[in-house]
Structure 1
Amino acid sequence: MILYRNNDDLMCKIFTTTLQGEAQNWFYTPPPQSIRSFDELSLFFTKEYSSYRLIKKKSEHLFNIKKNPKKSLRDYVKMFKAENARIIECNDSIARATFQKELPADHPLFEKLIMKEDLTLADFFAMAENHTLWDEAR
């Protein structure tokens, strides 16, 4: 592509080979001759797809998760695990602390989490799942 950077026609034609799926289908939607240069194509493509880019979330994102008091513990665990899965290399300590801060202090799970600081995140989630059954039985 570096060899042809001054040839807009060629750049526009080659651009489509870098696309897949929906983006490649999009390439054929603009009316013929509506884009006159590669810069225009780049701008048009960026405007169309900039909202689709993934925002990298960090462990601290978990502090934004709130437990709805009207929802069950099971719903909270499910929502929390889904958000946690979206974070690459999530810090286990932060995950545990953020989960725990939304639990009522008198909840049995809260007490167990305080007492067992050496749990892995997988063990932690397993314990939370077990307590969802207890909550539902109550």
Structure 2
Amino acid sequence: MTNISMSPFTNEIERTNPPLGFTMPHFTPYKGDEDPDRHLKHYCSTMIIYRSNDALMCKIFTTTLQGEGQDWFHTLPPQSIQSFNELSFIFINEYSSNCSIKMTSDHLFNIVKDPKETIRDYVMRFKAEKAKIVGCNEDIATAAFRNGLLTEHPLFEKLIMGE
């Protein structure tokens, strides 16, 4: 049995038991090599009905950690975590190098059709990149698509004349 005083959680959190009827949701384990923000968002949305139970949020979160993630948790100083906000902050901070870079619509201007690439392949590649951008601006996407075409390409002329 683990000594409560050795836990990274305060004694108050450690003494808290899950509410009657609590059933453990299924979580994909965090092993320390993925985007911590994505893991935290998934965790919070799965535990949404328990958000007001800070101690439960802390204790259950630790069960989603495996491997390197679990090892990291056990390196935290005893009695150092007082809230889920604090745990979230140090978790994101620890694994910030794994955060995925959020792209903006401007990213699409980096996509240029290779002269040997078919228009179909260019469109598919462009659409795949566009799908990665949350809230992509359609005007910027259209301009970026046109910008990525060679001026000699027949589609370029149609897009320009179509305006």
Q: Is the TM value for this pair above 0.5?
A: yes
**Match of residue 131 from structure 1:** none
Aligned-pair identity in percent equals: 42
Deviation at 1:110, TM superposition (A): 0.8
Structure 2 portions without partners, runs of 5+? 1-8, 15-54, 82-86
Note the 1:20-35 alignment, pairs <5 A.
23-26=64-67, 29-30=70-71, 34-35=75-76
TM-score scaled by structure 2?
Answer: 0.50
Question: More helix by proportion, 1 or 2?
Answer: 1
Deviation at 1:102, TM superposition (A): 1.8
**Which stretches of structure 1, 4 residues or longer, exceed 4 Å deviation after superposition?**
9-14, 41-44
Aligned with 1:83: secondary structure? helix
Note the 1:46-85 alignment, pairs <5 A.
46=92, 48-85=94-131
The answer to whether the 8 Å contact 2:151/2:157 transfers is yes
CA RMSD of aligned residues (A): 3.5
* Counterpart residue identity of residue 122, structure 2: Y
**Match of residue 61 from structure 2:** 18
Note the 1:1-138 alignment, pairs <5 A.
8-9=10-11, 11=13, 14=56, 15-18=58-61, 23-26=64-67, 29-30=70-71, 34-37=75-78, 38=80, 45-46=91-92, 48-117=94-163
Whole-angstrom CA distance in 2 between matches of 1:107 and 1:88: 29
Deviation at 1:52, TM superposition (A): 3.4
Q: Flag the structure with more relative contact order, 1 or 2, with Cα contacts below 8 A and sequence separation at least 6.
A: 2
Structure 1 portions without partners, runs of 5+? 1-6, 118-138
* Counterpart residue identity of residue 83, structure 1: E
**Match of residue 3 from structure 1:** none
